[in-house]
């Protein structure tokens, strides 16, 4: 189930760059050879579709900005929720981002995470964080990360909206 809900502006990623949510990408099933370890699949655990939220940072980040250590820590809540006994609540996930500098846009995704068929709404809380690699500071203080708020995806209407946190 790929879902293109159009560009949803989620505010400034950092000065001069916009964070734009684009849609959902179907990544496979939770018991597939590629996702079973990641999803913690075990015999008797329900098999569910796995998806990722795809995004772009526009314009793309420079080499310095890619190394700055600024990122978003997303938390996903599903309505109705996935079975917490098997999947936890909120749902945990990873992320990916293209690391090529100075492109028209820097693309990435948050996920994969489980998306049971009965789910009608995805709410993703976006919180800015600073990542330190190998206990060495990256570019702390060089670029201020701005995006913070709630991305809501209505699977019934196939639309998404963003509500920024108050400043």
Among the listed residues 93, 89, 73, the one whose alpha carbon sits nearest the alpha carbon of residue 81: 89
Report whether 152 contacts 161 (CB < 8 A). yes
Quick one: pLDDT band at residue 141, thresholds 50, 70, 90? very low
69: domain CATH number is 2.60.40
The predicted structure's pLDDT at residue 7: 95
Reduced to 3 states (helix: H, G, I; strand: E, B; else coil), residue 37 is: helix
| pLDDT tens digits, 31-84 | 999 999 888 899 989 999 999 999 999 999 999 888 887 788 899 999 999 988
Tell me, yes or no, if the pTM score tops 0.75: yes
Given a cut of 70, whether residue 136 has pLDDT beyond it is: no
Q: In terms of residue numbers, what domain contains 71?
A: 3-164
| pLDDT tens digits, 74-108 | 999 999 999 888 887 767 788 899 989 999 999 99
Between CA 101 and CA 43 the distance in angstroms is 43
User: In the structure encoding, which two tokens stand for residue 40, read together?
Assistant: 């913690």
Between CA 113 and CA 84 the distance in angstroms is 13
Q: Tally the domains of the chain.
A: 1
The predicted structure's pLDDT at residue 143: 47
């Amino acid at each position: 189930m790929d879902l293109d809900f159009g560009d949803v502006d989620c505010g400034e990623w950092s000065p001069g760059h916009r964070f734009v949510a684009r849609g959902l990408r179907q990544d496979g099933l939770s018991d597939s050879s590629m996702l079973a370890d990641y999803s913690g699949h075990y015999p008797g655990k329900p098999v569910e579709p796995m998806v990722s939220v795809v995004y772009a940072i526009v314009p793309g980040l420079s080499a310095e900005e890619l190394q700055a250590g600024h990122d978003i820590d997303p938390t996903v809540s599903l309505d109705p929720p996935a079975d917490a006994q098997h999947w936890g609540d909120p749902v945990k996930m990873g992320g990916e981002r293209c690391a090529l500098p100075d492109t028209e846009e820097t693309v990435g995704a948050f996920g994969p995470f489980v998306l049971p068929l009965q789910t009608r709404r995805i709410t993703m809380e976006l919180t800015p964080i600073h990542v330190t690699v190998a206990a060495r500071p990256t570019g702390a203080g060089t670029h201020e990360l701005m995006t913070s708020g709630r991305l809501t995806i209505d699977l019934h209407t196939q639309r998404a909206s963003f509500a920024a946190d108050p400043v």
